[in-house]
Amino acid sequence: MGWFVIASLLVVTACGAELGGTGQATPDASGGGGDGGVNVDAAIDALAVPTCANGRVIYLNFDGVTLTQGTSDATQNRAGWLQAATATAPAYRVGQMNRQADIAQVTAGIRAQLASFPITVVTARPATGQYVMIVFGGTAAQVASAFGGAVNRLDCGDVQRNDVAWISDGVTPSQLVVNYAVGAIGFGLGLTATTVPTDCMCGWDNQCTPVSTGPCTLTDNIPRDPAANQLCAGLTTQSETLAFTQAFCQ
């Protein structure tokens, strides 16, 4: 297995400098920390479990976390792609005026794009069970990522069930953040890069440039890019919708 990040252009701004100097808090099982927590209706997290769900959920961590290097395991805050022994991601866009609105927009977008699957998306850390954690916030230097935009470890066969992915503050607009999140989940399920700009796996360690103006799509029987830097041996096509359904249903 290998790791990959979508490299994005990081614009150096006053907000970015302020973010780099802000203290962080590591969330506990209740999802606390950061600058007082995410102002997202807790009732949304308590929606009925989708039909066929196997208990594995997606946890969106906007509140900051300290990660350690090792086999990826969200329940232990370990990430296989980490380039240092430990690193701390600050809370997402902490100190920025539109932080709560940005979080709400990203959360709603991810839920909307995954609504057709048996997937529960939460913003509070699950107390038990398997979950994929997507960490939002900070820069590549702060989280010890080799690249600047988004990262997860390629897991052919979806062996490690508690993946840890990261997405930078520098990724904009919010729709691109949402698309990166869906792609990061897919990479952790063993889906590899495609060459279709509207596909959610475009850009994951290949030369494809993903769309940022609309939702990406998950496609069945789509060719894997044979020129991608990371591949799953012997596989030339992938059924992306089936992979998501099986990962969170069986």
Q: Find the length of the chain.
A: 250
Q: Residue 194's pLDDT is what?
A: 98
Determine which of 20-29, 47-56, 157-166 has the lowest per-residue pLDDT on average.
20-29
* Domains in the chain, number: 1
pTM of the model: 0.81
For residue 238, the enclosing domain spans 3-247
Q: With cut-offs at 50, 70 and 90, classify the pLDDT of residue 208.
A: very high
CB-based burial, 220-236: b 16+ in 10 Å, e otherwise: eebebbeebebbbeeee
The reported pLDDT for the residue numbered 51 is 66
The pLDDT tens digits of the residues spanning 107-161 come to 999 999 999 999 999 999 999 999 999 999 999 999 999 888 999 999 999 999 9
pLDDT-derived band at 63 (thresholds 50, 70, 90) equals: very high
Q: How far is CA 246 from CA 9, 49, 99, 110, 212, in A?
A: 34, 16, 34, 18, 27
Pick from 198, 100, 217, 201: nearest CA to 154: 201
Residue 103: is its pLDDT beyond 90?
yes
Query: Residue 29: is its pLDDT beyond 90?
Result: no
* Cα angle 29-158-80, degrees, rounded to a multiple of 5: 60
